[in-house]
Amino acid sequence: MTRLLHLDASARPGHHGVIAHGSHSRALSHRFVTRWRAARPDDPVRYRDLGATPPQPVDHDWIRAEFTPRDRRDAQMVARLAESNALVDELIDSDLLVIGAPLYNFGMPVPLKAWIDGIVRIGRTVLFDPSRGDDPYVPLLTDKPRRVVVLSSRGGHGMDEGGPLAHMNHLEPHLRTALGFIGIDDIHAVAVEHQEFGGERLAASVAAANAGVDALVDTLLAETPAPVPAAA
């Protein structure tokens, strides 16, 4: 059984092609999960709409609670970290993380950054060990293989790795850095481009991204062990 954690971070509700001004990244992530479940209907999916219900951003109360030893946290501190702990628990429980996120002003949407801030946690997803000298950080999410699929949308074009404007794309690199820091480095990406151009260029990019999602589902399914039949 593969446990999916599906996150959407777009500010746009709905899916492109279904409602006016619907989200391209939501459409891609929905396509991925739908195709996956068609092949493996018993795989559980946990869904968080970060765009509609953003995690609370890090503030002074969060920092004070996080850096107070666990056995000395009062009830208010425990409550302030409850959402972050739930986000961490969901990630730890997952095998496949599907992230739908547009590129906003060269980086990730604010709700996705709040999610990242909530799951990169000393003692929970990464260990800080000063005895290791210049490399004191030890990722803790190496207990099992976890894969990540980033499904994005961009107004411009040429922002894939190796593209002429790749240096302006800080979404996928940021996710690779943050998730790799805690032990998840098997990351795949597909994106729609040309949103600001529209017309045939956008339509061609949407078609290519849909085909890319379908191919990625097939590839990852082929690499995934078949589910074990339930005992009679």
Q: Which residues line the annotated binding site?
A: 10, 23-25, 153-156
**DSSP symbols for 19-57:** STT-BHHHHHHHHHHHHHHHH-TTS-EEEEETTTSPPPP
Looking up tokens 């060990």 gives 129
Euclidean distance between CA atoms 203 and 169, whole angstroms: 21
By the 10 Å C-beta count (0-12 exposed, 13-18 middle, 19+ buried), 96 is classed as buried
DSSP state of 112: H
154, 157, 159, 160: CA torsion to nearest 10: 90
Q: Which helix (H) or strand (E) holds 115?
A: helix 110-119
In the Cβ-directed half-sphere of 186, how many Cα atoms lie within 13 Å?
12
Q: Which residues are annotated as a binding site for FMN?
A: 10, 23-25, 153-156
Euclidean distance between CA atoms 25 and 98, whole angstroms: 11
